[in-house]
Amino acid sequence: MQKHLLTALFFLATIGFNSHAQEALFRPQNIVSPEIHEDNSVTFRLHAPNATAVQVTGDFLPSVKMETPMGQMDGPGKAELKKGENGVWEFKTPVLSPELYNYSFSVDGFNTTDPSNPFLIRDVASATNIFIVGGGHADLYKTNDIPHGTVARRWYDSPGLKMDRRITIYTPPGYETSTDKYPVLYLLHGAGGDEEAWIALGRTAQIMDNLIAEGKAKPMIVVMPNGNVIQDGAPGEGSKNFYKPQFMIPNTMDGTYEGAFEDIIKFVESSYRVKTDKANRAIAGLSMGGYHTLHISRYYPNTFDYMGLFSAAIMPREDATGRVYSNFDQTLKAQMDNSYKLYWIAIGKTDFLYNANKEYIAKLDAMKMPYTYVESEGGHIWRNWRIYLSMFAPMLF
């Protein structure tokens, strides 16, 4: 009897503990942040009753000049929140243009994310909240009620890098039930990124789903590799497990990646139903990925019919001494002589790489090498690169 009584008391105590724990778990402040209003203004809120100053920073605010390891670049501005009732701080924006925005808070100088917004994104080692103001091109970034493709994380053998490596691959709606063969876009990330960058920060799956559904882009496979040759996968996803991501990783721009790129092509063409001729291969990349695109397409001059250089990091490098970078002018001319369908260059007017891209264009002009040039507002930012992908993909195949 005593044993049963003790068991019952333990059971009741456990129920009491769990109920209180669950009550605490489901008892957050009833705060909506961000709140997107009908006129596309946005209100941010943060419960911080003991704070003396709260700021919000994000790319919806006017940019400011910031010193970075890459030189002076545009950075997000800041705005002050005002303290209201119950210790809730607020800031309301003017009407915002359609876009995917990111933001974070600063509380008495301590940077933090918004606890009322569970939607976060990682860029290198920084995590920020995101929200979408819909309309116009921003509707391409939404998950709409249309047929959807599949995003897979695969592992491939890279003899050139002597390891198995993780890769992200988008297949278009209907791929699994079709017998068709598809063209391929190889989409390369920038410094500090990895095989997660384009699919997360770039909204590649949403952009491709929407463009294909609207009949603006042909169904295609999009391959997003990891350009950091000393990694087998993104931080937290590879064999090194959890560690802080870095902006510049050794050997990323010394020719090693470009020289081993055939390993990726071979894996894709042996594992997926794809068209394997030059006319059905495209390659594009942002920043460092634009640099890789330039050199991969030149080093393999009869491999791609479509090239996209998005804010390409065209700059001299002391470690660019390998065979991939030798005979630059001759191999670039060979690429031109082999002909292609599109050599697309895009850059923001305030991008710190603007002058380097203009110098490269002058070189192409002197060679009479055909290209298409697009100049946009803004600097070296994901807002531009998502738009560039949205413009580039419909021109393929």
Structure tokens at 188: 């390369």
φ, ψ for residue 157, nearest 5 deg: -85, 125
- For 238, other C-beta atoms within 10 Å of its C-beta total 20
Residue 13 banded pLDDT, cuts 50, 70, 90: very low
**Residue finishing a domain among 71, 101, 134:** 134
> Does residue 242 carry a pLDDT above 50?
yes
Residues 196 and 302 in one domain: yes
Considering the entire predicted model, what is its pTM?
0.89
% of residues, the chain, pLDDT over 70: 89
Residue 161 banded pLDDT, cuts 50, 70, 90: very high
Residues 329 and 186 in one domain: yes
Residues 124 and 242 in one domain: no
> Does residue 17 carry a pLDDT above 70?
no
Contact at 8 Å (CB) between 301 and 334? Answer: yes
Contact at 8 Å (CB) between 118 and 144? Answer: no
- Amino acid 66: pLDDT: 64
Residue 321 banded pLDDT, cuts 50, 70, 90: low
Q: Is 347 inside any structural domain?
A: yes
Residues 316 and 279 in one domain: yes
Average pLDDT of the segment spanning 139-144: 98
Helices (H) and strands (E) in the chain, counts: 9, 20
CATH number of the domain at 271, please: 3.40.50.1820
**Residue finishing a domain among 89, 114, 134:** 134
Average pLDDT, the chain: 91
Helical (H) or strand (E) element with 3:
helix 2-25
Residue 378 belongs to domain spanning: 146-395
34: left (phi over 0), alpha (psi -120 to 50) or beta: beta
> Does residue 12 carry a pLDDT above 60?
no
Q: Is 238 inside any structural domain?
A: yes
Whole-angstrom Cα Rg for the chain: 24
> Does residue 320 carry a pLDDT above 80?
no
Average pLDDT of the segment spanning 185-198: 97
Residues 211 and 103 in one domain: no
- Quick check: helix, strand or coil at residue 139? helix
Q: Is 25 inside any structural domain?
A: no
Domain count, the chain: 2
Residues 33-75 pLDDT 10s: 999 999 999 999 999 999 999 999 999 999 876 666 556 666 7
Q: Is 59 inside any structural domain?
A: yes
Residues 119 and 194 in one domain: no
CATH number of the domain at 98, please: 2.60.40.10
Q: Is 53 inside any structural domain?
A: yes
> Does residue 236 carry a pLDDT above 60?
yes
> Does residue 10 carry a pLDDT above 70?
no
Q: Is 46 inside any structural domain?
A: yes
**Residue finishing a domain among 106, 134, 162:** 134
Residues 193 and 335 in one domain: yes
Residue 100 identity (one-letter amino acid): L
> Does residue 26 carry a pLDDT above 90?
no
- Amino acid 103: pLDDT: 97
Residues 198 and 346 in one domain: yes
Q: Is 15 inside any structural domain?
A: no
> Does residue 182 carry a pLDDT above 90?
yes
Residues 110 and 152 in one domain: no
Residues 202 and 251 in one domain: yes
Higher pLDDT, 173 or 25: 173
> Does residue 382 carry a pLDDT above 50?
yes
- Amino acid 280: pLDDT: 98
With 0-12 / 13-18 / 19 or more C-beta atoms within 10 angstroms meaning exposed / middle / buried, residue 374 is: middle
φ, ψ for residue 339, nearest 5 deg: 70, 155
Residues 59 and 198 in one domain: no
- Amino acid 29: pLDDT: 61
- Amino acid 43: pLDDT: 98
Contact at 8 Å (CB) between 263 and 226? Answer: no
- Amino acid 323: pLDDT: 85
Q: Is 18 inside any structural domain?
A: no
